[in-house]
Amino acid sequence: MLMNAEVSLSCEGIERFLGEDDSRVHALRGVSLQLERGTVHAVVGPSGCGKSTLLYILGLLDHADSGWVTIENEAVSHLVDDALARKRNELLGFIFQFHFLLEDFTAQENVMIPMRRLAVLSEEQMLERSAHLLDAVGLGSKLKRPSRHLSGGEQQRVAVARALANNPSVILADEPTGNLDSANSRRAFELLQRIVQEERKALLLVTHNPEIAEACDWIHEMQDGRIVESHSRGHRISVRAGA
Amino acid sequence: MTPPLYIALRFLRHRRRSFILSLSGVVFGVAIFICTQAQTQGFAQNFIDSTLGSNGALLLRSRFQSATTGLLVPPKNVRNPNQPRRHSIDGITNASEIMRISRQFADVAACSAVLRGTVSARAGFDNATVDLFGIDAVSHLQTTNLAQQITSGDLDDFRNNPNAVIIGSRLAEAMQVVPGDAVQLLSPGGEYRRFTIAATARSGVGVVDSVRVYCHVRVAQTLLRKPFPASMIVYKLRDPERAPAVARAFEDLFQHDAQSWQDREEANLQLFVTVRVSAAITVSLIILLAGFGIFNVLTMSVLSKIKEIAILRSMGYRARDISAIFLWQGAMIAAAGSVIGCLAGAAFTWGVSKIPIQVRGLLYANHFLVTWDWHHYLWATVLAIVAVFIASYVPARRAAQLAPVATLRGSSA
């Protein structure tokens, strides 16, 4: 696999077993991956092939049974829970299929939640940054609107703004357009793509949408817990499992 | 404001009904605790004040005499031969000297010698057995609250007239006499002496008001035909709680039987303590029930916020931040509940103190007696905080242990 030197996130030989005893499943079988700054990677594959499991391990929400994860050239697999939480807060941004906003909070308050945990900005600075981020995703006029009163597309854009709140190096998205119509899907993806390119971030998204996958810089096809093929836009390079 | 506190406040604001439900449980428990403690201690305190005001904090009575003095061999039934068996001889030996020495003790605020005896009283066709207290007016008024207890008549009429008496209010009612009337007291020798009632006194203690008659000590000595001028010394102490210690010291020093008010009123005090503890247990159960309510509300809150917990975890909130969110919710319920409960408790207590009630037994009262003691508010608050913390801890811990992946995975494709 051809990668440039500016690696934001990488993993090597990730193995993960889910369930116990008879129901034990070998969900990931030696997955390796590298995400460089300014690139968009899509993970595709049938349901149950291990896409989301890989995403949660890379997002430090789940642990690998073997293998290691590096973020910004620092190995993080061995870190304790509090340290992992800090890494998630500082370096990672998550976008989920069902956007997962706090319904009782306004759009602006949702965006400010990661900033509050980081505790670097003052209240005024947080208000200013969250307003700027929401403005960037086209929601500058709906800052104070409770998130439950926003449309699906708007909620997903709030989720994008929230993922960018702490200026993370890596954005991980689990079917970010899965709950949107095609027009909104395209708009949301283009927004993410623009942010990644402009701000030199790395984006890994899990998707079932072939149009979106084809628009990514890299596509990784997964099957039975392995990346069976990775190719850049316009090129096809087969990769053996565990390679 | 810490992020968990901010989120806890927002969660509470959007679950107002649950919050109010939890809050009312704590408010009710705290308020009832304060109110019941104020009542039960109110009656007890009134009794203590009344008994201290009438009989002093300490009584020095009969003189000790060793029962084995003069025996060469101690009797066989003596448990400890080194500690002499003691008999008591009625009366105080050299009362004025004992009082002179006693006054040098820092604990002693005042003391008064009393010659006490039982005589029959007659007024018109009514007869009664009375407890005669022969007193020196000046020292007795310094030692007791007799001056404040006068309900009718004039204390000066007693001071200026050697044949005047002060009579207990309930005794006066029973014998149908008022100040200015005459009463006859029958001496042990069988002769009646006529006295003028100068005043009636109400101590608030039933057994005092229904039998006691005060007269001058020299008159009492003549009437009772006692060879000594004092059968006991009544002490007023600066700190009544020190009465047992002072009693022990006086027994050793003066070789007279000394009895503290705590020993003297042990049975009644025990009764008040029992009622108070019983009320405290009942009200603690109410607070415990409120705690169960809060436990249920917070557990439901955790279950309904599983998605939010997973989101917060994915954004870098630590397990202890999640735990803190629910502990803060409990803390806010406890804080608000305690403050409102204390205010409501004070209001209830004030309201109860206005309820008319006719108590004419052990105590005299025309309305509920209450005390205003900050300790009640402190204990109610501590109890509420402990109950709410225990009720919040389990749901908070459970919230912290929730694995975010399970929720996120379950909600995604």
Structure confidence by residue, pLDDT tens digits, A41-98 = 999 988 888 888 899 999 898 888 999 999 988 888 888 888 999 999 999 998 887 7
Q: Helix/strand/coil (H, E, C) string of B108-152?
A: EEEEEEEEEEEEEEEECCEEEEEEEEEECHHHHHHHCCHHHHEEE
Beta strands in B250-372 (DSSP E): 256-260, 356-360, 364-367
B239-244 contacts: CB < 8 A, separation 24 or more?
A: B239/B107, B240/B48, B240/B52, B240/B57, B242/B107, B243/B57, B243/B58
pLDDT at B396 exceeding the cut of 60: yes
Average pLDDT over chain A, rounded to an integer:
85
Overall average pLDDT of the B115-136 stretch:
89
Interface contact flag, A113 B315, Cβ < 8 Å: yes
Chosen from B315, B320, B322, B408 to mutate, greatest number of chain A CBs within 10 A: B315
Torsion sign (Cα): B110, B115, B118, B120: negative
Contact at CB, A96 and B412, closer than 8 angstroms: yes
Task: Tell me, rounded to whole angstroms, the distance of Cα B117 from its chain centroid.
Answer: 30
Q: DSSP labels for B358-383?
A: EEESSBEEEE------HHHHHHHHHH
Q: Which candidate from A92, A119, A175 shows the least CB-CB separation from B413?
A: A175
Both tokens assigned to A83: 């340290």
CB-CB contact of B413 with A47 (8 Å): yes
B315 contacts A89? CB cut-off 8 A:
yes
For the beta carbon of residue B263, count every other beta carbon within 10 angstroms.
14
Residue of B nearest to A60 (CA): B314
Give the pLDDT band of residue A131 (cuts 50, 70, 90): very high
Point out the residue among A85, A92, A102 whose CB comes nearest to the CB of B318.
A85
Residue B13, burial from CB neighbour count under 10 angstroms (0-12, 13-18, 19+): exposed
Which pLDDT band, with edges at 50, 70 and 90, does A148 fall under? confident
pLDDT band for position A4 (cuts 50, 70, 90): very low
Pick among A54, A113, A118, A130 to test the B interface (most B CBs inside 10 A): A113
| Cβ of residue B10 closer than 8 Å to a chain A Cβ | yes
More confident residue, B329 or B69: B329
Find, among B54, B206, B189, the residue nearest to B135 by Cα: B54
- Residue-level pLDDT at B413: 33
Higher pLDDT pick, B133 / B73: B133
Q: Is the pLDDT of residue A1 over 50?
A: no
Window 122-181 of B: residues touching A by CB (8 A cutoff) are: none
Which residues does A96 contact at the CB level (< 8 Å), separation at least 6?
A159, A173, A174, A175, A176, B314, B408, B411, B412
Burial (CB count <10 Å: 0-12, 13-18, 19+), residue A111: buried
Query: To probe the interface with B, which of A49, A53, A82, A96 has the most B CB atoms within 10 Å?
Result: A96
Angle, helices A182-199 vs A152-163, to 10°: value is: 20
Domain boundaries along the sequence of chain B: 3-52+268-411, 108-230
Instruction: Please say if the pLDDT value at position A120 is more than 80.
Output: yes
Please check whether residue A237 touches B, CB under 8 A: no
- Looking at the complex, does the CB of residue A104 fall below 8 Å from at least one CB of chain B? yes
A97 and B CB contact within 8 Å: yes
Q: Half-sphere exposure (CA, 13 Å, Cβ side) for A86?
A: 8
Closest CA of chain B from A163, distance in Å: 8
Interface list for A 136-195 with B (CB within 8 A): 162, 166, 174-175, 178
Decide if B320 and A114 are in contact by the 8 Å CB cutoff: no
| Residue B66 banded pLDDT, cuts 50, 70, 90 | low
Cβ neighbours around B351 below 10 Å, total: 12
Contacts of B6 in chain A (CB under 8 A): 116
Rounded to the nearest angstrom, the minimum Cα separation between B300 and chain A is 17
- Please judge whether B413 and A86 are an interchain contact, meaning their C-beta atoms are less than 8 angstroms apart: no
Give chain B positions within 8 Å (CB) of A82. Answer: 318-320
| pLDDT 10s digits, B24-61 | 888 888 898 888 888 888 888 888 888 888 888 888 88
**Predicted ipTM of the assembly:** 0.85
Interface touch B412/A52, C-beta < 8 Å: yes
Q: Which residue of A has its CA nearest to B7?
A: A113
Which residues of A are less than 8 Å from B411 in CB distance?
A: 96-98, 100
Question: Which token pair is B111?
Answer: 């003391």
How do the domains of chain A map onto residue ranges?
38-63+79-238
Note the CATH architecture for domain A38-63+79-238: 3-Layer(aba) Sandwich (3.40)
Q: Does residue A240 have a pLDDT over 60?
A: no
Per-residue pLDDT at B82? 58
pLDDT exceeds cutoff 80 at A236: no
Residues whose CB is less than 8 angstroms from the CB of residue B214 and which lie 6 or more positions away in sequence, other chains included: B133, B135, B140, B146, B158, B165, B166, B167, B201
Q: CB B413 to CB A85 under 8 A?
A: no
pTM beyond cutoff 0.90: no
Closest-CA residue in chain A for B6?
A116
